[in-house]
Structure 1
Amino acid sequence: MDMHKSVVEHMEEFRTRFIVCGIGFLVFFIFSLLFVKDIYQYLVKDLDQKLTILSPGDVIWVNMAIAAIAALALTIPLIAYQVWKFMTPAMTEDEKKATLAFIPGLFFLFIIGLCFSFYLIFPTIMSFMVELAEDEFQIMYTVSGYFTFMFRLTVPIAIVFEIPAVVMFLTRLGILKPQLLRKSRKYAYFILVLLSVVLSPPDFLSDVLLILPLILLYEISILLSVWVNRKQIQKGLSWS
């Protein structure tokens, strides 16, 4: 950020970029609504029963939720670009070029996280739950229950998949150092475990299956931070 700008000017610029992101999300949300039925059919294609609705509001809720998540994924590059533009006045030309490359990475990491959780974590947990219940209970899924469970499991994982790119970005700017990530490991683990319990559905298996990728992503982030920092030192750009 430009140090010559006043706090008011910084806040005004931040507000403008926030509004741009909000408008972008709204546009993508409306666009996603056009395909929400197709997305819905894909998400329930492996179910051997139709979902039950308990009120007309369930239909509206699930359509809005699906469109919102699709819009979030599509808005990520725009949000990343606005953050990058907000910070560019404080960057060198080399830093601008290097950090700009992280923007598409954030989008693809979010999609990878969604795919990982939807195709691996979610069916694993669903299969385990069905095996526990099928001998004693009649299994019937409601729209709100099924999709709330799905979204609470998949979306947090997709978001935390952004951690490596964010860590690389901050390391590249000299804001974050691999030494700090190592020293903060036990505190980070505690926070990640806490997040997994809060964000995941209320069952032990979901917690465990969310904790493991979170910890793995943190360790990967440390390795990537070390690599970026080493490249900076080699180029004489280290902030240490």
Structure 2
Amino acid sequence: MTAKPEGKHPPEQSEMPLVEHLLELRGRLLKMTLAVVICFAAIYPFANPLYLWISDPLRELLPVGQTMIATDVTSPFFAPLKLALVLSVFVAIPFILYQIWSFVAPGLYAHEKRLAFPLLFTSVILFYAGAAFAYYVVFPLVFGFFTAIGPDGIVELPDISSYLNFVLKMFFAFGVAFEIPVATVLLILTGATTPESLAAKRPYVVVGCFIIGMLLTPPDIISQTLLAVPMWILFEFGILFGRLAKREVNEPQPDESSGQ
């Protein structure tokens, strides 16, 4: 009888009964929830200083004597609470993705595992990089633009809840936009497209990046451009790494050729 190539088939534990899969899934969901709760318990005592830090890009640009306000009675409590909760999920993302990886990894082929984990790790780094880019690069420029074009005699008193909703939306938009290389590589590896086909569609992708930038950012050319240009650059990196990953998959592996 011909032996099964070790590297081409998932391990046998991927065939365990459905009930065991569901129990394992429940356990991992509980671990993810517990991780978020622990992060929240550690972050919430610092919620007010964290809100001051996240509002620095705007408060530093306000004229002397002007500050942020709370137009709702409950905003001073719920705005920092919401920030702490979102940051808890944000901090727990690596552990959450690790639990997801541990759940699906037993059912993957060996060559899929070699590519899946780097893609998972890269997606976390890129999401954090997108949020950091928004905070350190985009916010100072965008808020500088908005605070400079207001009519004379208008006192700017931004609401703390509105500001938080705005920055969280921007964090999410830039974090997701920075995942373009991972999405591009996955499209190439699954056979949905090819690097050559994506390269041929480059003009349409550039236009699409600016349309997405227009939809996800405020109606100013600065933030739209600061989102669209990185998206296009990351798309080019996605094509490059997609070619490398496809070459890695197509190359015969020693463990797959020595199973006879």
Is the TM-score greater than 0.5?
yes
Aligned-pair distance for 1:21? 2.1
Cα distance in structure 2, aligned partners of 1:100 and 1:206: 32
Cα distance in structure 1, aligned partners of 2:249 and 2:241: 12
The equivalent residue for 2:258 is none
The equivalent residue for 2:52 is 41
Q: Give the TM-score taking structure 1 as reference length.
A: 0.77
The 3-state SS of whatever aligns with 2:15 is coil
Query: 1:201 aligned to 201, 218, 226, which one?
Result: 218
Is structure 2 residue 167 aligned with structure 1 residue 150? yes
Residues 58 and 198 from structure 1, CA distance in 2 versus in 1: closer, same or farther, beyond 3 angstroms? farther
The equivalent residue for 1:66 is 83
| Aligned residue type for 1:106 | S
Q: Which runs of 5+ in 2 are unaligned?
A: 1-9, 61-65, 255-260
Aligned-pair distance for 1:205? 4.3
Q: Which runs of 5+ in 1 are unaligned?
A: none
| Aligned residue type for 1:154 | F
Cα distance in structure 2, aligned partners of 1:228 and 1:134: 53
Q: Give the TM-score taking structure 2 as reference length.
A: 0.72
**Aligned residues with identical type, % of pairs:** 23
Residues 62 and 28 from structure 1, CA distance in 2 versus in 1: closer, same or farther, beyond 3 angstroms? same
Aligned-pair distance for 1:54? 1.0
Is structure 2 residue 194 aligned with structure 1 residue 179? yes
The equivalent residue for 1:26 is 37
The 3-state SS of whatever aligns with 2:154 is coil
The 3-state SS of whatever aligns with 2:218 is coil
Cα distance in structure 2, aligned partners of 1:21 and 1:198: 32
Aligned-pair distance for 1:77? 0.8
Is structure 2 residue 223 aligned with structure 1 residue 212? no
Q: Bigger relative contact order, structure 1 or 2, given CA contacts below 8 A and separation 6+?
A: 2
Contact 1:152/1:201 (<8 A) preserved: no
Aligned-pair distance for 1:142? 1.5
Residues 20 and 160 from structure 1, CA distance in 2 versus in 1: closer, same or farther, beyond 3 angstroms? farther
| Aligned residue type for 1:158 | G
Contact 1:164/1:217 (<8 A) preserved: yes
Aligned-pair distance for 1:179? 0.2
Residues 69 and 196 from structure 1, CA distance in 2 versus in 1: closer, same or farther, beyond 3 angstroms? farther
The equivalent residue for 2:139 is 122
Cα distance in structure 2, aligned partners of 1:125 and 1:20: 39
Which piece of structure 1 moves more, 119-128 or 59-68?
Answer: 59-68
Alpha-carbon RMSD across the aligned residues, in angstroms, is 3.5
The equivalent residue for 1:231 is 248
Higher CA-based Rg: 2
Task: Describe the superposition over 1:3-56 as per-residue Cα deviations: whole angstroms up to 9, x where unpaired.
Answer: 634566555544443333232222212222122233223223352442111123
The equivalent residue for 1:17 is 28
Count of residues in correspondence between the two structures: 235
The 3-state SS of whatever aligns with 2:156 is coil
